[in-house]
Amino acid sequence: MDFKTFLHAGSNRRAMLKGMGVAAVGFSLTGALAGCGEKEAAKLANGEEAKLNFYNWDTYIGETTLEDYKDKAGVDVNMTLFASNDELFAKLRAGNPGYDVIVPSNDFVERMAAADMLVELDKAQVPNFKNVAPDYQDVPYDPARKYSMPYTWLALGIGYRKSKVKSVPDSWKVLFDSDAYKGRIAVLSEAGDMFRLYGKYMGKSVNGLTDADIKMIEAMMIKQKPNIKSFHEDNGQDLLLKGEVDLVLEYNGDIAQIMAEDSDIGFVIPKEGSQLNSDNLCIPKGAPHPKNAHAFINYLLDAEAGKKITETILYPTPNDAAKALMPDDYKNNQVIFPPAAVLAKCEYAKFNPELQPKYEEAFTRVRAA
């Protein structure tokens, strides 16, 4: 079977769909990639063929970014999508099936680095690293940015419907420890995030929970459960927008997107502080086009390219040069860029292989209770 016809039929949409069908019935990406012609593919100056396989989240790139890059560098970027870090990790844990650039979150950068799954980045090939805000040039989850470049960052907080709350819900108490909004609350179904944020509510570090804390938090969660409507799968913004709930635990970027559609929606990072997340560009070990991958990461960190991406996805950008090009209503948006005093109380969650199964089991108990 000639995969080339599927994958490189240019603008022929039906052939594209057929190609996707082939992928869906389980042909591995490697098979598909091995099939595409080594003979005709133009070699670039760096000695690699003009191709790149980009594994990204859905709706997480500028509308024209990939085409712009093709015009600029002549490299065909083949983007496939994943829906969660777990999916990304599961795909790569048995060996890289052919991806060049991936976008793991901070704790998965740590996890994959610990599992020796990432290539050390050659900073000389990524000069646009200078565009990155100083806060993101050196981060606890990847000291000195050995394996990753920042793409976006996020903070968890409370999205709410302004007309349905008595006052701004600026404490985790309204979600975690109160029946004031009984049946109108949705929180995350991710056990780790939930336990860490409860820890934050109790004045602890997100990375400093002990077994006794987990036990206590579990009891608090069981007590609060009747007041919760749903443990959502990171689709809290939809629940809030549709009016299913009035308060939701979500990321600021997700709420910023629906605030553009509905002016009755607000967002606040609780005064106790919160948890930060960051998505990062990495090159997995075994990437077939490592030089193209460096060049592509460099392009994504470019000011103009970064601006176009940010315009589409509306997430906070760690790229200062791109941010400078953005309009004031983005730069000064307190949801997208929370005040420094609030951010000072936020932390990144560390990858912790011992605690994660404990969080999961405790959360299973909460759900079964």
Partner 1 sequence: MSGPLQDWKSQRKPFAAVASAPVFWLALFFIAPMAIVWLYSFGQNAGPADIDISGTLDNYKRATEWLYLSIFLKSLAVAALTTLICLIIGFPVAMAITFAAPKWRPWLLLGIMLPFWTNLLIRTYALMALMGTNGYMNKGLGGLWEGASWLRTLVGMQPLEAWTPVQLLYNNFAVVLGLVYVHLPFMVLPLYSALDRLDKSLIEASLDLGAGHFKTFMQVVVPLAAPGIVAGVMITLIPALGAYLTPDLMGGTDSQMIANVIERQFKRANDWPFGAALSFLLIYAMFILIALQSMRSNKVKELR
Residues that bind partner 1 (CB under 8 A): 84, 86-87, 89-90, 93, 111-112, 114-115, 117, 183, 190-192, 225, 228-231, 233, 242-244, 353, 356-357, 360-361, 364-365, 367-369
Question: Smallest distance, Å, CB 118 to partner 1?
Answer: 12
Question: Smallest distance, Å, CB 368 to partner 1?
Answer: 6
Question: Smallest distance, Å, CB 351 to partner 1?
Answer: 8
Question: Smallest distance, Å, CB 123 to partner 1?
Answer: 25
Residue 77 pairs with which residues in a beta bridge? 52
Task: Provide CB contacts within 8 A for 319, sequence distance 6+.
Answer: 131, 132, 133, 150, 301, 303, 306, 310
Give the integer Cα–Cα distance in Å for 318 and 313: 13
Q: Which CB sits closer to partner 1, 27 or 129?
A: 27
Give the integer Cα–Cα distance in Å for 208 and 200: 10
Residue 250 pairs with which residues in a beta bridge? 157
Q: Which CB sits closer to partner 1, 111 or 145?
A: 111
Helix, coil or strand: residue 247: strand
Q: Which CB sits closer to partner 1, 14 or 242?
A: 242
Q: Which CB sits closer to partner 1, 137 or 352?
A: 352
Give the integer Cα–Cα distance in Å for 205 and 141: 15
Question: Smallest distance, Å, CB 160 to partner 1?
Answer: 16
Q: Which CB sits closer to partner 1, 118 or 313?
A: 118
